[in-house]
Structure 1
Amino acid sequence: MGSSSGFGSGYDYSFKILIIGDSGVGKSSLLVSFISNHVDDLTPTIGVDFKIKHLTVGGKKLKLTIWDTAGQEKFRTLTSSYFRNAQGIILVYDVTQRETFTNLFEVWAKEVELYSTNQDCIKMLVANKVDKESERVVTKEEGIAFAKEYGCVFLECSAKTRANVDKCFNELAHKILEVPSLLEEGSTVVKNTILKQKQERQASAGGSCCS
C-alpha cells in the first residue's frame, strides 16, 4: 500500500549532483564528510569518482548521485559529459587560496555555461576551509558578490570540522525540489530504473524474451 508512491524503489526522486573547482580545494573531503561523517586526508581524485547518498528532504526520499571531478587540467576533457543532466552543481573554492576563487570565474563558471545541458540546474557556491580563519584571504563579502552575479546559492563551510557540510547538500536538494522541470527529470530516472528492473526480472524468469 505505502510503496506505490516510491514506485517500489525506495526513493521518490533521483538527482545528479556535480562538485567542481580547482584541485586541492577540498571537493572530495566535502563529499566524504557528507557521506560518512568523518574526513581523512584524501589523495587527489584521479579523473572522476562518484558516491551515492540517500536522504529525506521535505518528506521526499531522494537518491543523490554525487560526482566528484578532478581539478587538474589533464582531466578536463572528461568533464563535458559529466555536466550532462546534472540537476545541481557545487562550485568549491578554498578561502585561504585566492587563485582557487579567481579560477571559479575564469575557468569553472565558463565550463558550467559551456557544458551544462540544464537551464534550470541549481548552482551553489561553497567557500571551504573556513576553519583556517587566520589564513583567510577571500572575504565572505566577495563570495556573496560572486554568488549574486552568477545566480548561485552561497554557503561557507569546513569539511574538516563538518561545519555546514550537511546544510550544503540539504539546501541544494531543497532548491532542486522547488523546480518543476528538475523534479520531472528526477522522477523519470526512477521510473526508468523500475522499468529496467521489471524487464530484467521478466527476461530471467521467462527465459524466452524474444517470443
Structure 2
Amino acid sequence: MGREQNLPIKYYVSILTIWSKMAANKNKNQSSLALHKVIMVGSGGVGKSALTLQFMYDEFVEDYEPTKADSYRKKVVLDGEEVQIDILDTAGQEDYAAIRDNYFRSGEGFLCVFSITEQESFTATVEFREQILRVKAEEDKIPLLLVGNKSDLEDRRQVSVEEARSKAEEWGVQYVETSAKTRANVDKVFFDLMREVRAKKMSENKDKNGKKSSRNKKSLRERCCIL
C-alpha cells in the first residue's frame, strides 16, 4: 500500500459534501432501512482501503493508492435484518485537523487500523483514538474496534498479539486481526462494529423514550392537580 499524497482542502470538503448528500437522498425503497456510518482510521499504508474494497467487492487490490478519502455504501443483512452501511475510508495523512474532526464527528463507529508489520502504525492508533474521543466528547461510549491488518504476513510481524490485546483491553474495546489479502475476519470487523453501533442507537432511543414518557407523566400529574 502506498502513502497518501496531500491534496487541497477542497477535495476533503467535497467528500464530506458527497457523503452528506448520500445520507440525505436515500430513495424510497431504502428509506426504511437502518443506516450505520463507519469510519476507517489509521496511518497511511496499513490497508484501510484494501479492507474496505475487500468488504465491498470481494476483491483484494494490492496496488491501490488512495490520495483522498472515499465513501462507499452497501446493503447487507445484519442478524437477519437488512441494513445499510456507509463506509468513509479516510486517507491516513490528512494535514487538515478541522477536516479530520468533521470526518470523526460524522461517524457512528470506527475501525482503528494498524499493520502488524509496522510498530509505528500501532503507536499511531493512540493519537487517532484520542482525536475521536475529543471530537465525540459528549458521547458516553463510542463504538470502536482495534484492527491489526496484514495477518498473512506473520513472518514480518512487529506487533505481538499480546501487545495489541493489552491495548484493546486498556481501551475497553475488541481486538481483531485481519487480512485483506486472504479475507480473514474482514466481514467480522465490519459486522461486529455495526452490532455495536446498533446497540448504542437502541440504548439511546430507549433513554429518549423513557425521558419522554417521564415528562408526559409529570405533565399529566400537573394537569390533574390543576383540575
TM over 0.5: yes
Contact residue 10 and residue 61 of structure 1 kept, 8 A: no
1:141-194 Cα deviation digits (max 9, x unpaired): 11111111112221101001111101111111122222245775xxxxxxxxxx
Which residue of 179, 182, 186 maps to 1:165?
186
What is aligned with 2:128?
108
Once the two structures are TM-superposed, the CA of residue 82 in structure 1 deviates from its matched residue by 1.0
Match for residue 105 of structure 2? 84
- Backbone CA RMSD of aligned residues: 2.0
List structure 1 runs of 4+ shifted beyond 6 angstroms: none
Identity %: 31
The residue correspondences of 1:8-157 to structure 2 (distance < 5 A) are 8-9=29-30, 11-105=32-126, 107-116=127-136, 118-157=139-178
Q: CA deviation at 1:129?
A: 0.3
Unaligned 5+ segments in structure 2 are 1-27, 206-227
**1:84 Cα offset (Å):** 1.6
For 1:118 and 1:42, locate their aligned partners in 2 and report how far apart those are by CA, in whole Å.
Answer: 37
Does 1 or 2 have the higher relative contact order (CA < 8 Å, sep 6+)? Answer: 1
Work out which of the two has the higher radius of gyration on C-alpha atoms and give 1 or 2.
2
Distance 1:23 1:56 in 2: 30
Question: 3-state SS of the aligned residue for 2:95?
Answer: helix
The alignment covers a number of residue pairs equal to 177
8 A Cα contact 2:94 2:100, kept in partner: no
SS of 1:134's equivalent in the other structure is: helix
Q: One-letter code of the match for 1:71?
A: G
Answer whether contact 1:125 1:152 (CA < 8 A) is retained: yes
Query: Aligned partners of 1:23, 1:145: CA distance in 2, in Å?
Result: 23
5+ residue gaps in structure 1?
1-6, 185-211
Higher deviation after alignment, 43-52 or 27-36: 43-52
